[in-house]
Amino acid sequence: MASPAAAVRRMASRVAQAVRDAAGARRYRRALSSGGPAGELDWVFDPAPPPPPLVELRLPAIADRAAALAWRARQTLPELRIVGVQPDGRERWRIAPERIDDAATAGWFAAPAGLPEVLPDHLESCLLVAASEVVDAVVLDDADAPPLDLDGVTADHVAEPPLRPLSLFSAAAWRWDPAADRVLPAQDRLLVKLIGRHGIGTLGRDPVPATATRRGPYLASAALGPALHVGVRDAAALRRRSRVRERPTVLVTVPFLARGGAEHTLYETMRELAGSFDFAIATLAPHRPELGDRRADFRTLTERIYCLGDLVHPAAMFGMLVALIDSLGAEVLYNANSTTLFYEFAPRLARERPAVRIVDHLYDHQVGYIDRYTPELLDAVDACVAENHRIAEVLTSRRGWPAARVPVIWPCGRPATAFPAGAAAAEARRRLRAELGLDHDDVVILTAARMHPQKRPLDLVELARRVQDLGRVRFLIVGGGDLESEVDRAIAASGARIRRLPFRDDIPELIAACDLGCLVSDFEGLPVFLLECLQAGRPFLGTDVGDMGGLLRATGAGIVVDTPGDLAALEAAVRRLAEDDQRSQLAAKAAAAAARFDPAACAAAYGDVFVGRTR
């Protein structure tokens, strides 16, 4: 029997907890009454398996079956059944999936009142969310139209335009009335997941609660209490089946599809290998508009782009990836640009799907994800593409990796046709200099990079300030990111001849309009921007990080500063490069080296890695 003192302590603990709960409820009600954020949101594992992977698109029987069949052919979701239903509820026609029993009951349905204008992966993305989180409907705004305002919607709006064509409904929680062509709730309490054009965090405000029925990206039909616990399930339990494919399938994982060197090399590799492999892409982090967005570019190469980081909590992503691997019949998982999630799930994936070849990619030998290379990862990852030779040396000499599993593949430049030449280059130079307010004889130093501490953009501002006496020298930075506001403030305060532009698509023309390229990074693999400048015959100023210094020395196409942050050495280099004769000599050597960065050769090397062929 517990002592009287222990009983008193338990009673005091219960009283204190009751007081805290009451105070929390009061704060919650006060915040709601003032329109402020309130309440808590968390995710808990739900051991129940997800519903079977069958989605039914329900249309009035008068809908054109031939049009529905053509629309169905463009969708990525294999478990999709389309039915035309008469007002009395009888089925008039059906388009059934090949891999699902025709008598199977659909756990989810869409009733868009017509064939919706959505991306090909829309319904499959919705199904993956529905399989991963315990919700009663999923709304995904990815239509080819201006983004919807999801900020003021209620649960009732989900069943009405404009949300209804973008929604996937649980058959257990909703019903479709074919006579009125309406979607109606089948239960009193509903929980809806809202996903905006740029993910769950961009619904008009931060994903925090703001109304009695709203908690971040979740919308309830009844007032929520101080806490909302959302169930997370293992979508791998769907056990999806794949069809036989003519070519090997590669599932590529990246944080996001931004405008950067990694995305450039990935795009060119996929474009070159399109006849040899089928590709799909899964992004694992939310897209950030300030970093640029290349999803539209990649959709010209594959319709299978699944933005998992924009859809669900990270705890749900492993199951979604396995569900994609199963459905695609993916033979290769290629981690083209990493997140911490990859290193958390790679060992488990190797155990649960041992037939899948796992290929990673590292960009630096000193910082970042190379620290994740433990003996356990050696057992899980079949090959690691090293961006430069220093990475390969660390993995083989210090981490025990066989050299055959660490191929060194430099990033690629652009196709030669991407760069203006002759009269076109001269016109691009004239036009862009006029647009940017640059004189024809200015010496323009271009940096294209993310505004991130790795790239040391504030060093460029200080460098511009130090060489103000060189009246013809101008600095131009192109890129955005975490430091962009700080960089803009520093530029305004410096009084130097330096300007920052947001990310742009016309980098080859900008290079043609400028006189040399520059990167002052703390670390790099081998930056694509460097290769682009050499392809365009522009000399380069760079720090001795990754293979950047080695390449510049080997080609003789630029000046290398040994230590990042050495502003005195950078200043001396700029003063040398301000001389026309010096730049002309280096430019000739840059042009002579251009051919070695052709995308076709780079892609062929990746193709060998994907199939496990060593060179």
Query: Tokens in use for 598?
Result: 């052709």
| Secondary structure, 3-state, 229-263 | EEEECCHHHHCCCCCCCCCCEEEEEECCCCCCHHH
Q: What percent of the chain has pLDDT over 90?
A: 67
560 strand-pairing partners: 542
The residues, ordered by sequence, that sit 6+ positions from 544 with a Cβ below 8 Å of its Cβ are 560, 561, 562, 563
pLDDT of residue 10: 63
Average pLDDT over residues 407-430: 91
State yes or no: pLDDT of 383 exceeds 60: yes
State yes or no: pLDDT of 200 exceeds 80: no
Tokens 């990796």 label which residue?
401
Average pLDDT over residues 62-66: 95
Considering only the C-alpha atoms of the chain, give the largest distance between any 2 of them, rounded to a whole number of Å. Answer: 95
CA angle 255, 293, 202 (to 5 degrees): 80
Peptide bond into 453 cis (omega under 30): no
Of 100 and 529, more confident: 529
Q: Which fold has domain 236-412+602-611?
A: Rossmann fold (3.40.50)
Question: What's the distance, CA 465 to chain centroid?
Answer: 36
State yes or no: pLDDT of 91 exceeds 70: yes
Alpha-carbon distances of 615 from 359, 362, 408, 611, rounded to whole Å = 16, 19, 11, 12
Q: What percent of the chain has pLDDT over 70?
A: 90
532 neighbors 550 (Cβ within 8 angstroms): no
pTM over 0.85: no
517 neighbors 455 (Cβ within 8 angstroms): no
State yes or no: pLDDT of 19 exceeds 70: no
State yes or no: pLDDT of 208 exceeds 50: no
List, in sequence order, the alpha helices (H) in 282-316: 295-298
Identity at 115, one-letter amino acid code = L
pLDDT digits (tens, 9 = 90+) for 120-165: 999 999 999 999 999 999 999 886 677 777 767 778 889 999 899 9
Listed as own residue / partner, the contacts of 273-277 with beta carbons closer than 8 Å and 24 or more positions apart are 273/603, 273/606, 273/607, 274/301, 275/247, 276/247, 276/248, 276/607, 277/247, 277/248, 277/249, 277/250, 277/607, 277/610
Average pLDDT over residues 445-463: 96
pLDDT digits (tens, 9 = 90+) for 519-564: 999 988 889 899 999 999 999 999 999 889 999 998 999 999 999 9
> Would you call 167 helix, strand, or coil by DSSP?
strand
Instruction: Please state, in angstroms and rounded to a whole number, the distance separating the CA atoms of residues 218 and 229.
Output: 11
pLDDT of residue 351: 95
Query: Tokens in use for 334?
Result: 């290629």
Identify the weakest region by mean pLDDT among 22-26, 48-52, 339-343, 504-508: 22-26
Domains of the chain, residue spans: 55-233, 236-412+602-611, 417-597
pLDDT of residue 203: 44
The residues, ordered by sequence, that sit 6+ positions from 568 with a Cβ below 8 Å of its Cβ are none
State yes or no: pLDDT of 462 exceeds 50: yes
Identity at 139, one-letter amino acid code = V
pLDDT band at 584 (very low <50, low <70, confident <90, very high): very high
Instruction: Please state, in angstroms and rounded to a whole number, the distance separating the CA atoms of residues 56 and 62.
Output: 17
Domain 236-412+602-611 identical in fold to domain 417-597: yes
361 phi and psi, to 5 degrees?
A: -145, 125
pLDDT of residue 41: 82
Alpha-carbon distances of 322 from 191, 282, 347, rounded to whole Å = 25, 11, 13
DSSP 165: G
Q: Which of 447, 443, 484 is nearest to 576 (CA)?
A: 443
State yes or no: pLDDT of 572 exceeds 90: yes
State yes or no: pLDDT of 49 exceeds 80: yes
Q: Which fold has domain 417-597?
A: Rossmann fold (3.40.50)
pLDDT of residue 192: 94
Sheet holding 218-220, edge to edge: 91-95, 80-85, 55-60, 108-110, 167-170, 137-140, 191-195, 218-220, 214-215
408 strand-pairing partners: 386
pLDDT of residue 368: 79
State yes or no: pLDDT of 477 exceeds 90: yes
pLDDT of residue 79: 93
Instruction: Please state, in angstroms and rounded to a whole number, the distance separating the CA atoms of residues 117 and 121.
Output: 12
State yes or no: pLDDT of 514 exceeds 60: yes
What DSSP line would sit under 509-575, residue for residue?
A: HHHHHSSEEEE--S--S--HHHHHHHHTT--EEEES-TTHHHHHHHHT-EEEESSTT-HHHHHHHHH
pLDDT digits (tens, 9 = 90+) for 274-298: 999 999 999 998 888 788 889 999 9
Question: What's the distance, CA 596 to chain centroid?
Answer: 29
Round the average pLDDT of the chain to a whole number and report it.
Answer: 89
